[in-house]
Structure 1
Amino acid sequence: MLTEMNQRLAQEHERFLAGHRRLAEACPAPVAGGNGSASGLIQVVTEPEEITRLSGVLVNAARHDWLTLENYLGDRPIDETTIVAPPPALRHGVRRRTIYESRCAEHPVAAKNIENAAELGEEARLLASVGMKMKLADGSVAMLPLGPTGMTGAALVRSPVIVAALREYFELLWERATPVGAVQPDSPLTDELRAILELLAQGIEDEGIARRLKISATTVRRRITAIREELGAPSRFAAGAAAVRRGWIK
């Protein structure tokens, strides 16, 4: 069930994540605050306060587009004190789009933050896995974390070539992601696959599904693997949740 397009997108995803890891490894440990490199095309910052300040500067710099990738990875568990409130509505004409990792929508605090952002005009989509955080203003400047949380170090990137590649990466993920709250009734599922998904969503194990549908457990596992690949889901539970979001099952 995994289409050639999905395979290409998955390969692009891995390629960009590998590039991000290489960038993080290649950046030397700078002094606290920030320093420029390559004539200011990449600035490495390590002070949390400065990272927060530059993030705000980046938001205000947007004239046409404000794009973010968010997985809510942090140094502490997600709660009201660790979630950063969505920024106020940007200037007129700026389109805001964010891709969240799917698990964020299943956490009450993170889900509320996503809802608040939507009320302020943000367009949001969900993806099974968001491998890194990112903030991008127009096609001019981007902020990338140098660690999982983004608060131990960040790179402010002004290189036109790199920023353009990051923008393309975001757009690839955007096409692959599912709009928050969207119903997609045109399901590619056969009756058998739909039945497997419905039982999967109920928490029934492979052997139980096999007995109910009178097929082998091997066939069930093969079908579940295909479904997970189609949905980009990292686990059985995530596959069931993604199918419900898309309106494939109730």
Structure 2
Amino acid sequence: MARAPEVIARRLLEGIVPQNLLALYLQLLKTGSCPLQEAAQRLGGIQNVEALVAANMAHCEESDRDGIWWVAASSVDVVLQHGLATLAHEAVADHERLLIGQQRMSQALLDAESTTAPAIEQLVRIVTDADETDALTETLMRSAQRDWLTLDLHESDDFALTPVEDASPAWSSTGAKMKAIYEAKNAETQARRAGLQSIVDCGGEVRLLSKVSMGMKIADEAAALIPLTFSTSSSTLLIQSSVIVGALREYFELLWDRAVPFAAPVCDAEGISHEQLTILRLLVLGLTDEAVSEQVGMSVTTVRRRIASIRDGFGVKTRFQIGAEAVHRGLVD
């Protein structure tokens, strides 16, 4: 028995679009196309119709026959794509605000004439010596009692420590929990994959993001190290403000929830094999077929066959639709 459109829409859109708009959209979807005035009455006012139209969840058209404006719900796939795009823009905006705040804080420290510099320096200072940065990193790593969090840039970044160094017993000797997020490019070569695996082998957790725009290392709620992304030197910020470190931890956890586990455990969710799930998660990260092939140890031809099998199993036609379906099946974050 075919499910009602509003049932399918709820399954696909819940948690993606705001709940108040979803309720209005489902009501309009169930009602079907109707005159504007009737839609306004059914949805509790013209402002609710305008809200749906502004969110691309509905559209209005004037009838050529009688000049009456009609309202209809947008197709579910259009609403889903717009909702995912909105979430992506919000994530970028959050990230940009964090970077702007970091740059402003750094600039305040660089301004020797600033009357606020002495107060700021008690909480944040710039470390310009690479050896001192390394020593601070080692000290913080060994002092972490609960968490040692790493957000790492691509391997070419000067600030990024190699995974092998991060996986040393220093952070584990105190019983701290290691959580590291790396850019997905770090999984494209055998040497880098071995480095990531070494963290996992030492009891740490590793996740991958398609793009990492800044680096940072956090020890508990006590301190954090962040590279000065706008500086040509290897300068680093040492942050000891509990408020700032707390905000950085919140940002890390936000990214952690969206990242894909490296060397994910065996899973048979939704009838998807562990092999298919691994390929699916790498695919959603934006890795090429060649990079996925390197990661899973299969030929490119075999990887493409597996992707085609996933696509057919989901009943979709494009890679974008594979990703959207995977999100709403709960297979990826």
TM-score (norm 1): 0.65
Where 2:254 maps in the other structure, the secondary structure is helix
Rate the CA distance shift 1:65–1:75 in 2: closer, same or farther, 3 A.
Answer: closer
Tell whether 2:195 aligns with 1:113.
yes
Tell me what 2:142 maps to. Answer: 60
Out of 59, 70, 90, which is 2:172 matched to?
A: 90
Tell whether 2:226 aligns with 1:147.
no
Residue type of the alignment partner of 1:74: D
| Distance in 1 of aligned mates of 2:236 and 2:322 | 33
- Report how far residue 37 of structure 1 moved: 5.8
| Distance in 2 of aligned mates of 1:73 and 1:37 | 35
Tell whether 2:244 aligns with 1:162.
yes
Out of 223, 229, 253, which is 1:171 matched to?
A: 253
- Report how far residue 155 of structure 1 moved: 0.8
Deviation track 1:180-206 (CA, whole Å, cap 9, x = no partner) reads: 12377659xxxxxx9xx8xx9669xxx
Contact 2:164 2:196 in 1 (8 A): no
Out of 153, 156, 176, which is 1:73 matched to?
A: 156
Once the two structures are overlaid, the 10-residue window that deviates more, 147-156 or 86-95, is: 147-156
Residues 23-34 of structure 1: matches in 2 within 5 Å? 23-28=105-110
- Report how far residue 23 of structure 1 moved: 3.4
Residue type of the alignment partner of 2:104: R
Which ranges in structure 2 are unaligned for 5 or more consecutive residues? Answer: 1-80, 272-279, 291-317
RMSD between aligned residues: 4.3
| Distance in 2 of aligned mates of 1:120 and 1:23 | 35
| Distance in 2 of aligned mates of 1:5 and 1:230 | 13
- Report how far residue 38 of structure 1 moved: 2.3
Where 1:38 maps in the other structure, the secondary structure is helix
Rate the CA distance shift 1:27–1:38 in 2: closer, same or farther, 3 A.
Answer: closer
Identity level (%): 32
| Distance in 1 of aligned mates of 2:139 and 2:118 | 17
Residue type of the alignment partner of 1:181: A
Which ranges in structure 1 are unaligned for 5 or more consecutive residues? Answer: 188-193, 204-222, 232-242
Tell whether 2:213 aligns with 1:135.
no
Contact 1:132 1:148 in 2 (8 A): no
| Distance in 2 of aligned mates of 1:156 and 1:228 | 42
Aligned length: 204
- Report how far residue 43 of structure 1 moved: 1.8
Tell me what 1:191 maps to. Answer: none
- Report how far residue 66 of structure 1 moved: 0.6
- Report how far residue 87 of structure 1 moved: 2.3
Deviation track 1:126-178 (CA, whole Å, cap 9, x = no partner) reads: 01111111000001110111137997101110111111100000000000100
Contact 1:99 1:124 in 2 (8 A): yes
Contact 1:74 1:149 in 2 (8 A): no
